[in-house]
Amino acid sequence: GNSVTQMEGPVTLSEEAFLTINCTYTATGYPSLFWYVQYPGEGLQLLLKATKADDKGSNKGFEATYRKETTSFHLEKGSVQVSDSAVYFCALSDRSTFGDGTTLTVKP
């Protein structure tokens, strides 16, 4: 069946550091891929998405590229801020299979 594997957290970075959160998936067909974010005390919300191979999703300085050859959708940001502290979930469509989440803490 479908599955998503995220890099284990937690991840702690200093402000303005470069962020990568790895995500790989196993799926039949050509799923759409998503990154959701959950800020403290809030519900899950969509951060970005990509619907086909080589698509790049981007939002709020975050980017992720749909790599079919490596079945990956790694999340990156060039310069993180304290306000980016949250839990990040990688997900694929078809009943939205989610990874277990990666907790990011950014320190000033």
**Residues in touch with other proteins (CB under 8 A):** 4, 32, 34, 36, 42-46, 49, 51, 89, 91, 93, 95-101
CB of 85 to other proteins, least distance (A): 17
CB of 30 to other proteins, least distance (A): 10
CB of 6 to other proteins, least distance (A): 8
Minimum CB distance to other proteins smaller for 8 or for 16:
8
Q: 56-59 and 11-14: which strand pairing?
A: unpaired
CB of 41 to other proteins, least distance (A): 9
Minimum CB distance to other proteins smaller for 45 or for 83:
45
Question: How far apart are the C-alpha atoms of 67 and 24, rounded to whole Å?
Answer: 9
Minimum CB distance to other proteins smaller for 41 or for 108:
41
Encoded amino acid at 54, one letter? D
Residues 90 and 75: beta-carbon distance below 8 Å: yes
Question: Which of 98, 106, 89 is closest to 38 using CA atoms?
Answer: 89
Q: Which whole-number Å values give the CA distances from 29 to 32, 33, 62, 71, in the listed order? A: 10, 12, 26, 12
